[in-house]
Amino acid sequence: YILGLLLGLIFHDFTSEDKGQKRMAFLKRQLPSWVSVALFGLSLSILCLLVFPISTYYDTDHEIPPITTTHSAGWSRDSVIVYNTFKFFAWGLALFILVLPTCLGKLGLVTELLGGHIWAPLAKLTYGAYLIHMLYPQALLTSTDATTFYYHTSHTLGMWLVFTVGSYFWAAILWLVVECPAGNLQKMVMTSIMRPPVKRKLTDAQPLNNASKIIRSPRAFNAAANNNL
């Protein structure tokens, strides 16, 4: 979270003020292209080291797979502790290294890929899916009549697909029913509160127009003539 906030502040500084834009242009000129490519490769290496070596954890001949315990796992207990301690920081650091060159205008292909319009609908549903995906699998698994007592690759991939699609499906419904109307209501309220009051200015033409209307009125002209007499 801290790395994400720091990256957001850097991006805001580079795009909001003239000084920040000058700093971004200076760093873009000073940063060689090979450094951006090296950072991109380092980021992908960290991400792969966090994802793929997990398969060795289940590399065991024991009849009971190590799902909820480190017993009979392919890793030692110390290895599991080290991985679980640093995995979140390493994942955030890898994303930080990946996105930082794109803030400087480097890695154009990566920028076009990550900033494509195809991600816009998923970006609106990501937070809702994040909140739902912790509850949806539990509700789905506890509602079944049978309990799965073994796991294999096809079963795990199938359940992952069901959980992912289901989480985004319910996130889309919540976005249409709750999040989008609440956001529009908040926008209307804040706009009405922050809108400055409209002040009507009296121009010099308005008294002249009123006087011309009085003079053009026959009754007013006669009354003015009688008063003068």
Alpha-carbon distance of 149 to 67, in angstroms, equals 11
Q: Comparing 115 with 129, which gets the higher pLDDT? A: 129
Out of 16-30, 163-177, 200-214, the most confident range is 163-177
| Cα distance between residue 104 and residue 203, in whole Å | 52
Distances from the Cα of 33 to the Cα of 40, 47, 108, 131, 188, angstroms: 11, 22, 11, 39, 46
CA distance 46 to 179: 35
Q: How far is CA 62 from the centre of its chain?
A: 42
User: What is the pLDDT at residue 46?
Assistant: 92
Query: What separation in angstroms does the CA of 151 have from each of 71, 145, 148?
Result: 16, 17, 7
Pairwise pLDDT comparison (224 vs 74), residue with the higher score: 74
Q: How confident is the model at residue 117 (pLDDT cuts 50, 70, 90)?
A: confident
- Given a cut of 90, whether residue 224 has pLDDT beyond it is no
Q: Is the pLDDT of residue 215 over 60?
A: no
Average pLDDT score over the chain: 77
146 torsion bin: left (phi>0), alpha (psi -120 to 50), beta (else): beta
Angstrom distance (rounded) from CA 23 to CA 13: 9
Q: What angle do CA 133, 68, 90 make, to 5 degrees?
A: 65
pLDDT tier for residue 185 given thresholds of 50, 70 and 90: very high
Convert the pLDDT of each residue in 77-100 to its tens digit. Answer: 788 888 888 888 999 899 888 888
pTM over 0.95: no
Tokens of 172: 């889309």
pLDDT for residue 208 is more than 50: no
Report the distance separating Cα 55 and Cα 34, nearest Å: 32
Q: Nearest-CA neighbor of 148 among 136, 135, 158?
A: 158
The predicted pLDDT at position 99 comes to 85
Q: Which amino acid is at 105?
A: G
- Number of helices (H), then strands (E), belonging to the chain: the values are 11, 0
